Chain A
Amino acid sequence: MRIGDAKQSYGADEAIWTSQTQKLWFGLLLVILLVFPFMADSYLLYLGCLVGIAVISTTGLNILTGFTGLISLGQAGFMGVGAYTVAWLSLNTGLPFPVTLMLAGLMAAAVGILVGLPSLRVKGLYLAIATLAASVFLHFIFAEWESVTGGMGGLSLEPAHLFGWAFQSDFMMYFIIVPLSVLMVFAARNVFRTRIGRAFIAIRDRDISAEILGIDLLRYKLMSFALSSFYAGVAGGLFAYFFRVVTPESFPLSMSIFYLAAVIVGGMGNLLGGILGAAFMTLVPEALKLLTAALTPFYPNAPVFMSPMLEIIFGALIVGFLIFEPHGLAEIWHRIRRFFRLWPFRN
């Protein structure tokens, strides 16, 4: 049971850290994240990096869909923009990774603003379909603009480097990806303590009312698009450095749906939900792979059924969460916390 929680100023109410305990837990999490790569084997390390990238992208989509209420089916396309920017820059300029990642984010943000432009006229599902159109065009550009993107063959790139260090292994990439994802989630958390973030939320709750309150809809909707695609661009850039090859097929429509599913399964409009959703949706296929590997000695056919099972589980997770747990994993997490917080009194 937590006590002594009374707030005496708005500042305290808005603070990210509301208690010492919270800081303690967070410190513990950071220590775990820091120690993890030294303890984990290469497979776990690989998963850790994947989850980190997914967390960044999901957080970006959460800003747009969960907090601003604009549905996007273009997240994979924006990631592609970031990935191609990084790939092109690393092949043609040799800039170090902090610069290329920043430029990848900015490039994706610029494309995001362009895609967001119709958002004043169309909303809801029409907007989702406009972003779908954008992702079709982006895929087309990736595949056809051969002088820059290398066509269907794509681009392979050098490992990320900084001050003469090359980040070649997953182990080293972990130290780029995970700190960056912690930082970016924090940045997102901070956005929602500012006027901008609250404007996003007001637009989500009712855009017409928000406009009457004096929120410039076009400006804030575009800002949300820019911010969200910036996140996607950085995630795409990391994706490029991590796999070191970028093709048009790296960013299919199903990837956009994957991120939308991660936001929903995690909990829309909840940053913690985005993190949980990203981790969960990335790890479920891996768990299934492990299960398949374990079953293969007994059922030699198991690998054949893995890919269809994955499709079915993916769909069932989306449908199941929407029907039975619309607030997602974040809500489950809160329930668990509430149980401990109210522990002696609840039963």
Chain B
Amino acid sequence: MADKGVDGGRGRRSGVVNKQRGNSPQRFYVVLGLLVVVGALFIVRAARAPKVRANVTTAPITPATAEGYLMGNANAPVQIMEFADFECPACGNFAVITEPDVRNRIVNAGLASYRFFDFPLPMHKNTMAASNAAACAADQGKFWEMHDALFRNQPEWNTEATDNPKKIFLGYVKSMGINTDTWEKCFDAQTHQSRILANQAEGTRRKVQSTPTFVIGTRLIPGAMSYDVFKAYVDSAAKEAPAVAKADTTKAKSTTK
């Protein structure tokens, strides 16, 4: 503290301070304000407009009818679809932070049904394996358990963590009480590849360009969002003509695995 006083006293006599006193604080605050505004605009724009284009599949497999993974009552007043990539961090954050509230307070309350559609992105090398792992878990009625484990533990099995995600997935399979042999046969044979590609194709058809992207009622909303914003979209969709929302989602037949 004493230093400050001494410095302050000495500083007033120094040439450096005299030079600095000539500076206009107004100019500084104008530049500072400009930087803050430009930075804020950039961040807000980035938050609203994701730029990576989705992978458009050219696989030789003929896509089957798109099958989502349904949660809740298929005939609920509002239909929600999520297009997500298991390796995408934003999808993982949504699944871990917001989705539990969506399930408890919207889906379980009967306000809406929720369908998950795979939308694997090309830069994620392990995401297709994860989609396969989840599809094979769905065979044994454990899709959502696997969905949660995959998103919760992304850093354990993502592209950076391993070249062999199956080893990690097997750990999840065992902890869920899934028949390991059956799951492994399904995973190795990529039994549900066409189903995954169909889900992806459904997203491409709907002009999904980034993950996660939601379809709530008749609206397509890119990007993760908070529970409150999500609920507002659901409320808004509920007020719209239910028939419109129903007609929209029945274009993609869904299973209840």
| A, B from the same assembly | no
Interface of B toward A, CB cutoff 8 Å: none
